[in-house]
Structure 1
Amino acid sequence: MDTRIRFTAKEDLYNKAKELKTKELPSDMFSLFIDAYHTQIKDEETNRIKKAVIYNIVGIDMEGRKSLVSYYIYFGSESKEDWLQILNDLIKRGLKRVMIIVSDDFPGLSHAIKNLFPQTDHQLCFLHMQRNIKKNMSKQDAKQFYEELTLIKRIEDYEKAVMKFEELCKGYEKKYPAYIKGLLNKKDNYFNYKKYPEAVRKYIYTTNVVENINSRIELIRANTGGYFQSIKTAEVAIYVTVSRIEKNKWKEPLPLVKSALYELKQMFVKKFYGQTQFS
Structure 2
Amino acid sequence: SCHCAVSRVIAQWQDEAAAFGRRDLSGTDYVYLWVDGIHLKVRLEQTKLCLLVMIGVRADGRKELVAITDGYRESTESWADLLRDCKRRGMAAPVLAVGDGALGFWKAVREVFPATREQRCWFHKQANVLAALPKSAHPSALAAIKDIYNAEDIDKAQVAVKAFEVDFGAKYPKAVAKITDDLDTLLEFYKYPAEHWIHLRTTNPIESTFATVRLRTKVTKGPGSRAAGIAMAYKLIDAAQARWRAVNAPHLVALVRAGAVFHKGKLLERPTDITPPQPPSNGHERTGTEVA
User: Is TM (by shorter chain) over 0.5?
Assistant: yes
Q: 2:176 aligns with which of 170, 174, 180?
A: 180
Given the alignment of the two structures, is residue 59 of structure 1 paired with residue 51 of structure 2, yes or no? no
Write the mapping of 1:145-184 to structure 2, written as runs, cut at 5 A: 145-158=141-154, 160-162=156-158, 164-166=160-162, 168-169=164-165, 171-184=167-180
How many Å separate the matches in 2 of 1:40 and 1:239? 15
How many Å separate the matches in 2 of 1:81 and 1:262? 31
Given the alignment of the two structures, is residue 230 of structure 1 paired with residue 225 of structure 2, yes or no? yes
Who is 2:204 aligned against? 208
Query: Is the Cα contact below 8 Å between 1:100 and 1:122 reproduced in 2?
Result: yes
User: Which residue identity does 1:243 align to in structure 2?
Assistant: D
Q: Which runs of no fewer than 5 residues in structure 2 stay unpaired?
A: 263-269, 271-289
CA spacing shift, 1:139–1:185, aligned 2, 3 Å: same
Who is 2:248 aligned against? 256
Identity of matched residues, % = 21
CA spacing shift, 1:278–1:3, aligned 2, 3 Å: farther
Could you report, residue by residue, the CA deviation over 1:38-72 in whole angstroms, capped at 9, with x for unpaired residues?
23336xxxx74333211111111111111111101
Of structures 1 and 2, the larger Rg is shown by: 2
Query: What is the count of residue pairs matched by the alignment?
Result: 265
Who is 2:32 aligned against? 31
Who is 1:123 aligned against? 119
Q: By how many angstroms is 1:109 displaced?
A: 2.6
Query: Is the Cα contact below 8 Å between 1:56 and 1:70 reproduced in 2?
Result: yes
Q: By how many angstroms is 1:90 displaced?
A: 1.9
Query: Is the Cα contact below 8 Å between 1:99 and 1:268 reproduced in 2?
Result: no
Structure 1 length as normaliser, TM-score? 0.80
How many Å separate the matches in 2 of 1:56 and 1:243? 13
Structure 2 length as normaliser, TM-score? 0.77
Q: By how many angstroms is 1:241 displaced?
A: 0.6
Residue 191 of structure 1 aligns to a residue whose secondary structure is helix
CA spacing shift, 1:10–1:202, aligned 2, 3 Å: same
Larger deviation, residues 77-86 vs 94-103: 77-86
Who is 1:245 aligned against? 240
Who is 1:273 aligned against? none
How many Å separate the matches in 2 of 1:143 and 1:33? 28
Given the alignment of the two structures, is residue 49 of structure 1 paired with residue 46 of structure 2, yes or no? yes
